[in-house]
């Protein structure tokens, strides 16, 4: 299925920004060659032209040239600005995941990539995606830094312990493309790879329905929240609510004790679960226990997905809202069902 690229030795171009990366790369090479050749030629030319012929020659005095100075300042300036602007555009495009993307979770560990779709399907070292659809990966790792690298898409992003990073792409043609770990991560680093399968939408739908989906991240998150971890014992709405309101917070501003305001993004929710006393919501006591060491990265992803799902239209930019004790709204979601205090 794999076809070759128009440049020998280059991987195929299979994403919307692959050609941009290549264009920038060839432009850099062209600029380097355009400067290197005249400089090397000039070195030899002058070496020969001004070789020692007369032992006692006195050189002519040099006078500056304003025109020359101006020209060789302006030309490199223009060239370096085109490199800067071109690079900035490509970079911005690649590292700003769109809101309307299909989301996938990726957890790296020595030495494999564990992947889960929003619809629940899990994969290891393989990722199936539809062609022509924007796909956003939310990535983290259980151990050391890894790097999710898809050469045919001309994109790669580090997966960093303790934090979420994002990679997005839109594949432009069906096929099977290499996936690598591009950050040396230990003994079997070289084996930490696999394939991205880009499929026509209907093949992808078939693939999805042909794979056991189990719980979706949101369902798994709700299960953890209401039953296994007992979050609901504090966070369920109603008069007995002891924890901060979680409905509608995603991507909104949250006021903290001490006056600061933070945006409740995925990283914030993650930190609130692992290290609750670091950022305490205004109007609350720091009574939430830490869940560090009690939840796996996958479970954290699920909890974050669940809390995200409590905000309608999560993912799209939303207006700021405050979140204080006074705003403890009437119970509106299923988490209102008290679940025995199962967190020990």
Q: Which residues bind Cu ion (CB under 5 A)?
A: 146, 181, 185, 192
Q: What is the Cα–Cα distance from 287 to 283, expressed in whole angstroms?
A: 12
Minimum CB separation of residue 115 from Cu ion in Å reads 14
Q: Which of residues 147-166 bind ligand HEC (CB under 6 A)?
A: none
How wide is the angle at C-alpha 77 spanned by C-alphas 76 and 79, nearest 5°? Answer: 60
**309 scored as a contact of ligand HEC (CB under 6 A):** no
Q: Which of residues 314-333 bind ligand HEC (CB under 6 A)?
A: 323
Please give the structure tokens belonging to residue 29: 């090479």
Q: Tokens 């303790």 appear where?
A: 162
- Which residue lies nearer to ligand HEC by CB, 80 or 342? 342
Q: Which of residues 106-125 bind ligand HEC (CB under 6 A)?
A: none
Instruction: Give every CB contact of residue 280 below 8 A, 6+ residues apart in sequence.
Output: 256, 257, 286
**280 scored as a contact of ligand HEC (CB under 6 A):** yes
- Counting every residue written for the chain, the total comes to 344
> What is the distance, to the nearest Å, from the Cα of residue 62 to the centroid of all Cα atoms in its chain?
55
Plot region of 240 (φ>0 → left; ψ -120 to 50 → alpha; else → beta) = alpha
Minimum CB separation of residue 121 from ligand HEC in Å reads 24
- Which residue lies nearer to ligand HEC by CB, 209 or 277? 277
Minimum CB separation of residue 191 from ligand HEC in Å reads 34
DSSP run (H or E) holding 134: strand 134-141
Q: Which of residues 238-277 bind ligand HEC (CB under 6 A)?
A: 242-246, 249, 254, 264, 269, 272-273, 276
Plot region of 233 (φ>0 → left; ψ -120 to 50 → alpha; else → beta) = alpha
Q: Which of residues 186-225 bind ligand HEC (CB under 6 A)?
A: 225
- The option from ligand HEC, Cu ion, none interacting with 185 (CB < 5 to 8 A, set by class) reads Cu ion
User: Helix or strand or coil: residue 92?
Assistant: helix
The binding site for ligand HEC (CB under 6 A) comprises 225, 229-231, 233-235, 242-246, 249, 254, 264, 269, 272-273, 276, 280-281, 284-289, 291, 303, 307, 323, 343
């Amino acid at each position: 299925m794999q076809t070759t690229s128009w440049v020998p030795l280059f991987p195929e171009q299979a994403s919307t920004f692959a050609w941009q990366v290549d264009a920038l790369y060839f432009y850099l090479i062209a600029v380097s060659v355009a400067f290197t050749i005249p400089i090397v030629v000039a070195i030899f030319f002058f070496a020969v032209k001004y070789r020692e012929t007369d032992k006692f020659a006195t050189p002519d005095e040099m006078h500056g040239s304003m025109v020359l100075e101006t020209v060789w300042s302006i030309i490199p300036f223009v060239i370096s600005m085109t490199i800067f602007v071109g690079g900035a555009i490509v970079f911005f495009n690649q590292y700003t995941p769109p809101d309307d993307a299909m989301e996938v979770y990726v957890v790296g560990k020595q030495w494999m990539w564990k992947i889960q779709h929003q619809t629940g399907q899990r994969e290891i070292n393989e990722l199936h995606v539809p062609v022509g659809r924007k796909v956003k990966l939310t990535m983290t790792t259980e151990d050391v830094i890894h790097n999710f690298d898809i050469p045919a898409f001309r994109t790669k992003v580090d997966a960093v312990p303790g934090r979420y990073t994002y990679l997005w792409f839109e594949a432009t043609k069906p096929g099977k493309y290499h996936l690598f770990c591009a950050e040396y991560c230990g003994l079997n680093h070289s084996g930490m790879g696999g394939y991205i399968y880009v499929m026509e939408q209907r093949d992808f739908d078939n693939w999805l329905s042909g794979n056991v989906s189990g719980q979706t991240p949101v369902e798994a998150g709700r299960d953890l929240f209401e039953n296994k971890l007992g979050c609901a014992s504090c966070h369920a709405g109603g008069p007995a609510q002891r924890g901060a309101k979680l409905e509608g917070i995603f991507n909104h501003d949250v006021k903290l004790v001490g006056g600061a305001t933070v945006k409740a993004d995925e990283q914030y929710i993650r930190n609130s679960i692992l290290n609750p006393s670091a950022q305490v919501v205004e109007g609350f006591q720091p009574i939430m226990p830490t869940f560090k060491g009690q939840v796996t990265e996958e479970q954290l992803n699920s909890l974050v997905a669940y809390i995200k799902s409590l905000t309608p239209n999560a993912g799209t930019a939303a207006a700021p809202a405050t979140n204080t004790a006074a705003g403890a709204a009437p119970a509106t979601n299923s988490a209102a069902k008290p679940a025995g205090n199962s967190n020990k």
